[in-house]
Amino acid sequence: MSVENLGTRVRISWSDGVTHDFHPFWLRESSVDPQFRDPKTGHKLLDAEDIPLDVKVTEITQRDGTLDLQFSDGHSSSYSLDKLHQAAVHPRTDELIGKKILWDGSFSPSWYEQSELESQPAKLLALLNDIASLGFALVRGIPAELNGMARFIDQLGYMRITNNGGIEDIKALPSAKVYDLSMTPRALEPHCDNPYRVPQPGYTLLHCIRNDAQGGESALIDGLYVADRIRRDRPDLFEALSTVPIVFRYADDQAILEHTCPFLDVTEDGTVTHARFHGRCDQVTATDPAVLSKFYEARRMYSKIIMSDAAQLQFKLQPGEMFMVDNYRLFHARRGFRLDSGIRHMQQAYIDRDVVSSRQKTLLRDINAKPWKSRI
């Protein structure tokens, strides 16, 4: 590899063919010297405004995978060449670490045992790695009792509280008490949860306490798989799904919840970071009719793939079983069930995205890391 000080930039060329020019100010502000950056939190101790805009690198020493840099303002710091390489080729952070694996209804998932998750941190990390790559994980052996899922949640950190509370019952109720379609025996079409919330809940957990009624099977659908199919087959319709604004709305006597966004969030490099679908609460904005004609065609294709058996992983949760899904990627559904044939009683909870992301990354750093808890 080679390192060149070109005055207005430092050029580094690695043996794998990557070459990148680093701005002297960027290097100076990226200093990890403890007088400039707190070693524990990684936060800067001084303002970047105190660095001269014309700061230069005056001296470079290379040793054992490290660059030692001297700057024109008198500051010095060491830099990991591996971290500089990472900054060059992958400047964005990963919410979860792991390559995305797209799947359809033919996929055969594995199950995790709650007892092993509690006793073997490597198993918990493997589950979080599945969440990163597949967007979901299946768990058995959770106590089939009220709030039994709290044991699993405690291994990750804490749950999100909404206006419906924390751990929430999902079962058929008398009509006077129903505030959500999930509390009826009707089928629930594929959907993500609460796209009308800001921010939308990051992860959905559904735990089975009893499920002996006829029907009530669950289904999971990979929104990234659906988006990828449309992008390959009809890029014009993919563009409509990722650009036309949709209003998602929920209202009752306690709350009015609204959010406007497209079905798909896509970064400038084409990565789909968020897939939404909720056919009961979406209303496209009243935009140009020509745009809407393309959008309606796109939504029809989107819905058709999502609703197809070929895209759906179908199963029936048994007492003590639970699924955890990435609510920014997966859609879930259930078949209708008969109240006169038994009882279907689930409990549901949400976890924020930063809780799950932090848990995976701390376990990758230290396999014995403890879950995130309040310091109060």
37-46 tens-digit pLDDT: 999 999 999 9
| pLDDT tens profile 270-329 | 999 999 999 999 999 999 999 999 999 999 999 999 999 999 999 999 999 999 999 999
Alpha-carbon distances of 348 from 157, 217, 324, rounded to whole Å:
16, 16, 10
- Domain boundaries along the sequence of the chain: 2-89, 111-365
Query: With 90 as the cut, is the pLDDT of residue 142 above it?
Result: yes
Distance, in Å, from the CA atom of 238 to the CA atom of 231, rounded to the nearest integer, reads 5
Distance, in Å, from the CA atom of 276 to the CA atom of 60, rounded to the nearest integer, reads 49
Computed on alpha carbons and rounded to an integer, the radius of gyration of the chain in Å comes to: 25
Query: With 60 as the cut, is the pLDDT of residue 178 above it?
Result: no
Distance, in Å, from the CA atom of 56 to the CA atom of 70, rounded to the nearest integer, reads 9
What is the CATH topology of the domain spanning 2-89?
A: NE0471 N-terminal domain-like (3.30.2020)
Q: Check residue 181 and give its pLDDT.
A: 66
Query: With 80 as the cut, is the pLDDT of residue 31 above it?
Result: yes
Give the number of C-alpha atoms closer than 13 A to the C-alpha of residue 184, restricted to the C-beta side: 10
Distance, in Å, from the CA atom of 87 to the CA atom of 20, rounded to the nearest integer, reads 9
Instruction: Return the structure tokens found at 64.
Output: 């054992």
Name the percent of the chain lying above pLDDT 70: 97
Query: With 80 as the cut, is the pLDDT of residue 175 above it?
Result: no
The CATH number of the domain covering residues in 111-365: 3.60.130.10
Q: Is the CA virtual torsion 186, 191, 192, 197 positive or negative?
A: negative
Distance, in Å, from the CA atom of 71 to the CA atom of 25, rounded to the nearest integer, reads 10
Of 90, 87, 148, 65, which is closest to residue 114 (Cα–Cα)?
148
Distance, in Å, from the CA atom of 16 to the CA atom of 369, rounded to the nearest integer, reads 34
Q: Check residue 124 and give its pLDDT.
A: 98
| pLDDT tens profile 316-369 | 999 999 999 999 999 999 999 888 898 999 999 999 999 999 999 999 999 999
Name the percent of the chain lying above pLDDT 90: 90
Determine the distance from the C-alpha atom of residue 341 to the mean position of all C-alpha atoms in its chain, rounded to a whole number.
37
- Chain length of the chain: 376
Average pLDDT of the residues in 44-51: 96
Read off the pLDDT band of 191 (50, 70, 90): very high
Other beta carbons within 10 Å of 149: 26
Distance, in Å, from the CA atom of 124 to the CA atom of 104, rounded to the nearest integer, reads 24
pTM, full prediction: 0.92
Residue 223 contacts residue 329 (beta carbons within 8 Å): yes
Residue 67 contacts residue 61 (beta carbons within 8 Å): yes
Instruction: Return the structure tokens found at 30.
Output: 């990226």
Q: Check residue 180 and give its pLDDT.
A: 64
Contacts of 196 (CB under 8 A, 6+ apart): 248, 249, 250, 257, 258, 259, 281
Determine the distance from the C-alpha atom of residue 123 to the mean position of all C-alpha atoms in its chain, rounded to a whole number.
20
